[in-house]
Amino acid sequence: MITKKAEYAIIILTELASHPQGTVITSKRIAEKRAIPANLVVQLLAVTRTAGWTVGARGPTGGIKLTVDPAEINMRQVIEAVDGPIGITRCLFSDKPCHDKTHCSLRGVWSEAQDKMLSVLENVSIKDLTDAAQNDC
């Protein structure tokens, strides 16, 4: 399951992308506008910062802004930055087949199903979401 935190991170990035380029917005303002708990916003901005997508300026006139083109950030990247590697089943997380069997036909199905899902998420960028009218999911 894709967590609510990952959804929040996507929303936060779309909020940042919808601002005039170069201007900052405070984490508190993002929380208010998007109805996300303020502390969670701060937490998630730490993730986006580590990923190299945002920078924060401290002090009274401080705030957050994007450092990259929102067209260059896709949904899969954000989800994985927040939730870690995506796996629709437990067995897709480990490298070796379950029970040390040489082959596992189920694994191939899980893998294909997951890849289909991921390719959709990879093809939607933060810019795509910002362009769409409303994205307050």
Instruction: From the list its own copies, DNA, none, pick the one residue 114 interacts with, judged by a Cβ distance below 5 to 8 Å according to partner type.
Output: its own copies
> To 10 degrees, the CA torsion angle through 65, 69, 75, 81?
-60
Return the DSSP state at 20. Answer: P
Angstrom distance (rounded) from CA 78 to CA 56? 18
Q: What long-range pairs does 41-47 form, CB within 8 A, spacing at least 24?
A: 41/8, 41/12, 43/5, 44/5, 44/8, 44/9, 44/12, 44/82, 45/12, 47/9, 47/81, 47/82
Shortest separation between residue 92's beta carbon and its own copies, angstroms: 10
Mark 91-130 with x for binding to DNA (rule: CB under 7 A) and - for no binding.
----------------------------------------
> To 10 degrees, the CA torsion angle through 79, 4, 30, 47?
-40
Regarding 18 and contact with its own copies (CB under 8 A), the answer is no
Regarding 23 and contact with its own copies (CB under 8 A), the answer is no
Shortest separation between residue 48's beta carbon and DNA, angstroms: 8
Name the residues that contact DNA, by CB under 7 A: 1, 3-5, 8, 26-28, 37, 39-40, 42-43, 45-46, 49-50, 55-64, 83, 90
Interface contacts to its own copies, rule CB under 8 A: 1-2, 4, 7, 10-11, 35, 75, 87-91, 97-99, 101-107, 109-110, 112-114, 116-121, 124, 129, 132-137
